[in-house]
Amino acid sequence: ESALCVFDIDGDGINEVMAVFGGASTQTVAGSGKVKPVKNTVETLTCVIWRVDEKAKKIVEIFRHTIYRKTVKDAEGLFAVHKTERLMFDFEKTPNGPPLMVVTRLLISGDGANARTERNVVKLEPENSVYKMRTIEKPPVTKPQPANEADSQAATALGTVHRIVVVKSQGVLIAYDKEGKEMKRYDVITGAVKGDKEIEGDKKTPEGEFYICVKNTASKYHLSLGMSYPNAEDAQRGLKAKRITQKEHDAIVVAIKKGGIPPWKTKLGGEIFIHGEKGDRTDTLGCIAMSNADVKELFAKTALGVKVVVKP
């Protein structure tokens, strides 16, 4: 795909020409001659800008860069890692001479509740009427660390978690080891309304069997472990009550069978997390909240796929 535009980008009275070229990686199926998208798909959009050089009486290229890049690892899998890069640019007038080019780079990693955005801005000065794109350094990504030495020692002392049980009426989360032995109990709070979750916004914490489908280090609630709600049983009840369509039901069932993230934007609701920032609150909108120190410990020892049972 491509597009061609002619306009005065920098307001100097001389039109520039901008072309955008796009495409996606493909591969040929052996022996068939047919082309299909590759699993590790890379979609790109490259922008090129030309302007008229009046002195040389010719058109010169002043800018070339990939302004959009999307990478999907294992595009057929529900645990696909999506990374999208967007580059936006503008011009800033200067007292004398050519304008500065202001480039804003956005890198979006992940989807939905697990999305994280990095933003960088650089200003480019033209060299001999050509704007040369420099490498924009990404800020270092730091892993969450325990707040103090006591937290660090506690996280080390807790072994690998193989099963989590939440008892809503008791306000407790229990972590179990591989042998089924209780490792530790944590104080938690749950939804403001009693009962099993039915629809988005009912302020109920879902009950039943789930698994950890997301680990979010960029959560606004310190750290969070996403639960696979709605599960297949929730989908069946929702279909019977005509809250969701057959297509939505089937999408949930397929996601659960593959151990992925079920659709979170249906009328059944979603984005149910075990997270921090419990503070002095007495209830949540449906999530399971605990102290920041506790969620650090649990997060470090809990892997994707760990079973979570929520009881009344």
- The 10s digit of each residue's pLDDT in 207-222 is 999 999 988 887 888 8
CA dist 55 to 8, 18, 229, Å? 18, 21, 65
For residue 70, pLDDT over 80 is answered with: no
CB-based burial label for 179 (10 Å; 0-12, 13-18, 19+)? exposed
Enclosing H/E stretch for 235: helix 232-240
CA angle 149–154–159, rounded 5-degree value: 140
What is residue 300's DSSP assignment? H
CB-based burial label for 256 (10 Å; 0-12, 13-18, 19+)? buried
For residue 55, pLDDT over 90 is answered with: no
The predicted pLDDT at position 298 comes to 95
- Which residue has better confidence, 92 or 212? 212
Among 34, 43, 89, 38, smallest CA distance to 63 is for 89
Q: Tens digit of pLDDT for each residue in 141-195? A: 434 344 344 444 444 456 789 999 999 999 999 999 999 999 999 999 999 999 9
The predicted pLDDT at position 115 comes to 59
Q: Tens digit of pLDDT for each residue in 246-270? A: 999 999 999 999 888 999 989 999 9
What is residue 267's DSSP assignment? T
For residue 230, whether the previous peptide bond is cis, meaning omega lies within 30 degrees of 0, is yes
The predicted pLDDT at position 110 comes to 63
Question: What's the whole-number average pLDDT of the chain?
Answer: 78
Report the C-alpha gap between 225 and 213 in whole angstroms.
8
Report residue 285 as tokens. Answer: 């909108």
The predicted pLDDT at position 151 comes to 41
pLDDT band at 85 (very low <50, low <70, confident <90, very high): confident
The predicted pLDDT at position 230 comes to 96
3-state secondary structure of 292: helix
Enclosing H/E stretch for 254: helix 246-257
For residue 138, pLDDT over 60 is answered with: no
The predicted pLDDT at position 256 comes to 92
The predicted pLDDT at position 73 comes to 54
Report the C-alpha gap between 149 and 92 in whole angstroms.
49
Question: Quick check: 37 and 75 in contact, CB under 8 A?
Answer: yes
For residue 67, pLDDT over 70 is answered with: no
The predicted pLDDT at position 30 comes to 52
Most confident of 44-48, 101-105, 277-281: 277-281
Enclosing H/E stretch for 233: helix 232-240
- Which residue has better confidence, 92 or 234? 234
CA angle 163–167–171, rounded 5-degree value: 120
- Dump the DSSP string for 104-151: EEEEEESSGGG-EEEEEEEEE--BTTB--PPP-PPPPPPPP--SSHHH
0.75 exceeded by pTM: no
